[in-house]
Structure 1
Amino acid sequence: MKILVTGIAGFIGSHTAERLLSLGHDVIGVDNFSPYYDVELKRLNCKAMLEQGVTILEHDLREDDLSGVLPHDVDYIFHFAAQPGISVTSTFEDYFSNNIIGTKNLIDYALQCPNLKLFINIGTSSIYGLEATYPEDKAPKPASHYGVTKLAAEQLVMQKSREGHMKACSLRLYSVIGPRERPEKMYTKLIANGLNDKPFPLYEGSQTHLRSFTYVGDIVDGIVSVIGNETIVDGEIFNLGTEAEHTTQEGIEAVEEVLGKSIEMNVVPKRAGDQLRTKANIDKARKLLNYNPQTTLLESVRSQVEWYKANFK
């Protein structure tokens, strides 16, 4: 199958593209290599794929003419590209243009692909709001510009499924961790600061926040499981993540255990819109996609520490 992966240079997009390659698919990627974080890290993510012959196009989905840039003979589209996370440096315009306009342009392109079997939107647990413990039919209550715009993007995709114009589904991911996690995210920053004896900026009160910290390999298992299940997943939303809950403090302690050292904490003011609790309800994915994440928090952290040391230490 010929598969287009948007945001292929990012954390989860790059892992998914590599899995698709290992399954024998022909993968084409597109990424705008945004300077949201170090572009060289994104190019490092792409290095192995380029060596295997993957075509990676450098293009911004916010530009209208995608049909003149992207191939029309793709069978699947996995849409990861987005303005990620909750960040004080990102404006509403950043979230709006990347998450809504970019998705709308990609949909318009997808409708011109005659072989398209399924459009897979990559959503987020932030769509649910401050508490993300619910099944997929729970009314969303996003509490950040990120969550609001990702919900809008999801609904733009699902609209086309409801209208019968293309088959589509959306996957809401929960607190993904592991090798290639973005540098400003919790675990990469914890590992970096621990190894370099720097204090970690801990948001006030966040040590008690609960999370479904899910290993990226387990997330990718769920993502690729939609291939061949177009009839089952069309028009559906699925939560993907682990059912195991851990506090932020337990996450810190896991990193300290793997590093064999304590990490100094520097408490900073709370971050607006930060979720208080995420616990993936995966009953639907387990039933329809045989989804069954197994990697423990400690195993995930060990893998991420090994990756960090191999590339940055």
Structure 2
Amino acid sequence: MKVLVTGAAGFIGSHTSERLAEMGHEVVAIDNFSDYYDVSLKQLNAEALAKKGIAIQEIDLRLDTLTTVLTEGVQAIFHFAAQPGISASSTFDDYLSNNFLATQRLLDTIELLENKPFFVNIATSSIYGLEATLTEDQAPLPASWYGVTKLAAEQLVLAYSRRNLLQSCSLRLYSVYGPRERPDKLYTRLIDCGLNDKPFPLYEGSAEHLRSFTYVQDIVDGIVSVLGNESVCNGEIFNLGTEEENTTATGIAIVEEILQKKIKIKMNPARPGDQSRTKANIDKARRLLNYNPSTGLKQGLEAQVEWFESNF
């Protein structure tokens, strides 16, 4: 199968691209190499993919011609490209253009195709709001620009399904970590601070935040399980993550145990819109996709520390 992956140089997109290629699919990979974080890290991911025969084309969904990559031969799309996370340096327009308008432009291009690919939208637990513990059929209450625009993009994709313009589903991911995690995310920053004797910026109150920290390969298991189950997934939303909850403080303690050193902490003011709890309810994914994440937090963090030490 020929598969298009947007945001393929990013954390989860790069892992998914590799898995799809390992499964025997032809991967068409694109990324705009945004400078939201150090572009050299995306280049590192791109080099890893190139060694496995996956070349990433530099394309911006908002600006560039998409018909060159979105051809009649593409049978599925995994749409990761987005303005990620909660950041004071990102404006509302950044989230709107990268998360909603880019998705709309991709969908508009698909509409021109005679044979439309199955569209897998990659969403987020931030859609649910300050406490992400809900099932897929409960009303979301996003509390950040990121959550609001990702919800809008998700509903835009599903609207196309409701109008029978294409087949699609949306996957809401929970607190993903592991090798290649973005440098602004919790565990990459913790590992960096621990190994390089730098103070770790901890947001006030976040040590007690509960998270469904989910290892990236467990997330990829759920993402690729859509293939072969398109008829079951069409028009549906699935939560993907682990049901195991850990506090940020527990995560810090595990990283310290792995590194065998204490990490210096610098307290920062709380972030508006930050979630106090995420717990993935995966009953639906388990029932329909046989989804069963199994990697424990310490096991996953050992792999992430090994990756960090090997690359940095």
- Normalising by structure 2, we get a TM-score of 0.98
Tell whether the 8 Å contact from 1:125 to 1:132 is kept in structure 2 after alignment.
yes
Matched, 1:268 2:271: no
1:195-235 Cα offsets, whole Å, 9 max, x none, are 00111000001000000000000000000000011110000
Tell whether the 8 Å contact from 1:72 to 1:112 is kept in structure 2 after alignment.
no
More deviation, 61-70/199-208 = 61-70
Look up the SS of the partner of 1:150 in the other structure. Answer: helix
Where do residues 185-204 of structure 1 align in structure 2 (5 Å cutoff)? 185-204=185-204
Look up the SS of the partner of 1:263 in the other structure. Answer: coil
Q: 1:88 to 1:268 in 2, by over 3 A?
A: same
Tell whether the 8 Å contact from 2:5 to 2:13 is kept in structure 1 after alignment.
yes
Match of 1:105 in 2: 105
Tell whether the 8 Å contact from 2:46 to 2:55 is kept in structure 1 after alignment.
no
1:90-117 Cα offsets, whole Å, 9 max, x none, are 0000000000110001111222333434
Distance 1:285 1:256 in 2: 33
Distance 1:238 1:266 in 2: 37
Amino acid at match of 1:152: A
Amino acid at match of 1:32: N
Give percent identity, aligned residues only. Answer: 65
1:77-96 Cα offsets, whole Å, 9 max, x none, are 00000000000110000000
CA RMSD of aligned residues (A): 1.0
More deviation, 104-113/214-223 = 104-113
Where do residues 1-80 of structure 1 align in structure 2 (5 Å cutoff)? 1-63=1-63, 65-80=65-80
Tell whether the 8 Å contact from 2:142 to 2:148 is kept in structure 1 after alignment.
yes
Distance 1:225 1:269 in 2: 40
Tell whether the 8 Å contact from 2:211 to 2:277 is kept in structure 1 after alignment.
yes
Where do residues 111-126 of structure 1 align in structure 2 (5 Å cutoff)? 111-126=111-126
Where do residues 1-313 of structure 1 align in structure 2 (5 Å cutoff)? 1-63=1-63, 65-312=65-312
Amino acid at match of 2:291: Y
More deviation, 67-76/23-32 = 67-76
Amino acid at match of 1:62: R
Superposed structure 1 runs of 4+ greater than 4 Å apart: none
1:4-59 Cα offsets, whole Å, 9 max, x none, are 00000000000000000000000011100001111111011011322333232111
Distance 1:110 1:265 in 2: 48
Amino acid at match of 1:240: L
Look up the SS of the partner of 1:63 in the other structure. Answer: coil
Distance 2:197 2:141 in 1: 39
1:45-74 Cα offsets, whole Å, 9 max, x none, are 011322333232111101263224543320
Distance 2:224 2:296 in 1: 21
Look up the SS of the partner of 1:148 in the other structure. Answer: helix
Distance 1:20 1:169 in 2: 18
Look up the SS of the partner of 1:189 in the other structure. Answer: helix
Tell whether the 8 Å contact from 1:72 to 1:114 is kept in structure 2 after alignment.
yes
Distance 2:196 2:123 in 1: 34
Post-superposition offset of 1:264 = 1.0
Distance 2:46 2:70 in 1: 18
Amino acid at match of 1:244: E
Tell whether the 8 Å contact from 2:28 to 2:69 is kept in structure 1 after alignment.
no
Tell whether the 8 Å contact from 1:74 to 1:113 is kept in structure 2 after alignment.
no
Distance 2:70 2:117 in 1: 17
Amino acid at match of 2:242: T
Tell whether the 8 Å contact from 2:238 to 2:284 is kept in structure 1 after alignment.
yes
Question: For structure 1, which runs of at least 5 residues remain unmatched after alignment?
Answer: none
Distance 1:56 1:198 in 2: 34
Tell whether the 8 Å contact from 2:212 to 2:242 is kept in structure 1 after alignment.
yes
- Normalising by structure 1, we get a TM-score of 0.98
